[in-house]
Structure 1
C-alpha cells in the first residue's frame, strides 16, 4: 500500500507564489495550444494561419515578462 507524504514546504507557499505558479503554468499551456494550432494551420494552409502565428508570437512577450511583483 502506497502512502502519500505531505511536505511541509508545500503548505507554506504564499498566495502570491501560488498565483505566480498558476499564471506561469497557464502561459505555458497557452503556448503549447497556439504552437499546435499553428502547426495544423501551416500544414493545412488554412486562412487563419497568420492570425494564429501573430498570437503565438505574442506568447513570447507574455512568457518573457511574467509578473514577478506578486511574489514579493
Structure 2
C-alpha cells in the first residue's frame, strides 16, 4: 500500500486530478489538491500525477518500507 500526501506548495493546477481522478480532487475550500483517500494500492496513475505536478507538491510513501516511492 502507498500513502499519498499533498503539501502546502500545491497551487491547484489540476494536473493530478486529470491524470489520476480517482486519487486526487481539488478542494472548494482552498482550491488545492487533496488525496481522495490517503492510503491506496499502488497505481501507475499516481506516479504520473507526481511527475506532472508543477510544484512537486505530491509525495508517495510505501507503507511497508516507509520509503518514498520513486518515479
TM-score bucket (shorter structure): under 0.3
- Tell which structure's C-alpha radius of gyration is larger: 1
Structure showing the higher helix proportion among its residues? 1
TM-score (norm 1): 0.24
Structure showing the higher strand proportion among its residues? 2
